[in-house]
Amino acid sequence: MTTTAEESLPEPASGRRTPRWRSLPVLVLVGAAAGALTGAAFPSVGAALGPLADLFVRLLHLVVAPVVFCTLTLGIADLRDGRRVGRLGGGALVYFEAMSTLALILGLAAGLLVRPGEGLHIHAATLDPTLAREFAAKAQATGPEAFLLGIIPDTLVGALAQGGMLQVLFVSLLSGFALSRMGEKAAPMLRGLRHLQDLIFQLVTMVMRVAPVGAFGAMALVVGKYGVGVLVPFLWLAGAMYGTQALFVLGVCGAVARASGFSLFALLRLLKEELFVVLGTACSESALPGTMRRLEEAGLSKGVVSLVVPAGYSFNLDGTNIYMTLAILFIAQATDTALSTGQIVALLATAMLTTRGMPGIPGSVFIALAATFAIVPAVPAAGIALLLGVDRFLNTGRSLTNVIGNAVGAVVVARWDKGYDPARFAEVLGARRAT
């Protein structure tokens, strides 16, 4: 049995159409523009407005774990077939691995072709190694053993309290399987979970109203603290990264979408509000609840959406993967570090491992870089400090690519598993195309 979006998601309180100028994407853009102007005109004020962005992110983290728990638990319980869940999860992981590896290779190719760090001639000895050591310590604390043990929370509710995505996925899967084995006895608990899910999505709606404020604070902080001039020495890096992200989205994701029988641009129109929020806040998690809701409304089954989309936030971060290998080569080129073909292959293979399961950790991309350099010390780890000042500018691009890649992956897996309503999917995407 598949729960429809109408059954699982709260309807708006009013059927009145919101004027375009008051829509969330427009308000987010206005907030971001106002923040940039404030940071440029009053740098000290802009730098002090950073907590507004932190406020939005904290509010968002408040609801992400409950959203994933409710939707995934209900989705697994509704599937009622453990073998199908295993097949679905296995298929999703194969897809994730293929796309993530391709993203890493694309980032590597861009770094070798564009050579964004060439000509900077930064001596590694002049860089402060303190930050690199801090990230390396965190990377060591998240090694293979710690990673596996960290999937299991100390208590059943500990996963929801701590908000670690892998722990939430683990507890949700266990709960969903347990409910699916309880038969009719599970009916009252499933009804209660659906009511709780309605409450959580109402909270999500309330939190998203704060997104323009978060965009205002984020842009004011970046422009006020760093100034636009901080990008000048790194324009080649920014251009290479955004160009590669665009190539991946339009070329790779577009080709995958065409091969799967749907339009990438129609899917992007479906997710336009979520993408504008990510554009303003540079936080891929801000799109998680909305992406799941939109995909269910488009006819994808709850089981597929609730399993594939959250799992993608740990195993299918295409934008982060592109940035990883590009950043490795940028640091090597900027510090005049020559790399042999063997060392480049070793760095690529290591990055395939260090980028898995990292997104729930603050500064995850730098921890993954430090872990990569610790295993293959051909590149000076102190070079991570070169990226800290411009990371807020670059994070927007990789966050957008992460969200788009996960949405495409969910549709592809749903079509492969036949876990979607073809007529509903075509109707919703066609209607979005018409608007």
Three-state secondary structure string covering 21-66:
HHCHHHHHHHHHHHHHHHHHHCHHHHHHCHHHHHHHHHHHHHHHHH
Amino acid at site 377: P
d(CA 362, CA 280): 19
- pLDDT tens string for the chain (435 positions)? 344 433 334 444 444 555 666 666 678 778 888 888 898 888 888 888 888 887 877 787 777 778 778 777 877 776 666 677 778 778 888 999 899 999 999 999 999 998 888 877 777 665 555 555 555 555 555 555 665 676 777 777 776 776 666 677 788 878 887 887 787 888 888 888 888 878 887 887 788 788 788 888 877 887 787 666 655 667 888 899 999 999 999 999 999 999 998 999 999 999 988 898 888 777 787 788 889 889 999 999 888 888 888 888 878 889 989 998 998 899 888 888 888 888 888 888 888 877 765 554 445 677 777 777 777 777 877 777 777 667 777 888 888 999 999 999 999 999 988 888 888 988 888 755 544
For residue 420, give the 3-state DSSP assignment.
strand
Q: Which string of b and e fits 138-152 if b means at least 16 CB within 10 Å?
A: bbeebeeeeeeebee
Task: Return d(Cα 8, Cα 300) in angstroms, integer.
Answer: 12
Q: Which residue has the tokens 């208590």?
A: 155
Separation of alpha carbons 222 and 133, rounded Å: 25
Cα angle: 145, vertex 163, 78; to 5 degrees: 95
- Sequence-ordered alpha helix ranges (H) in 209-253: 211-226, 235-247
Chain centre to alpha carbon of residue 270: 17
pLDDT of res. 105: 93
**DSSP secondary structure letter of residue 156:** T
Q: If one looks up domain 5-434 in CATH, what number appears?
A: 1.10.3860.10
Model pLDDT, residue 363:
57
Position 10 scores a pLDDT of: 40
Amino acid identity, residue 62?
L
DSSP tag of 199: H
Q: Distance between CA 389 and CA 368 in Å, rounded?
A: 18
Distances (CA, A) of 274 to 33, 158, 290, 318, 404: 18, 28, 6, 17, 10
**Do residues 320 and 359 make contact, with C-beta atoms less than 8 angstroms apart?**
yes
Count Cα atoms within 13 angstroms, Cβ side, for 25.
11
Sign of CA dihedral 274, 276, 281, 284: positive
Query: What's the predicted TM-score (pTM) here?
Result: 0.72
pLDDT at 61: 72
CA angle 53, 22, 287 (to 5 degrees): 45
Query: Which is nearest to 292 in space by CA: 8, 94, 15?
Result: 8
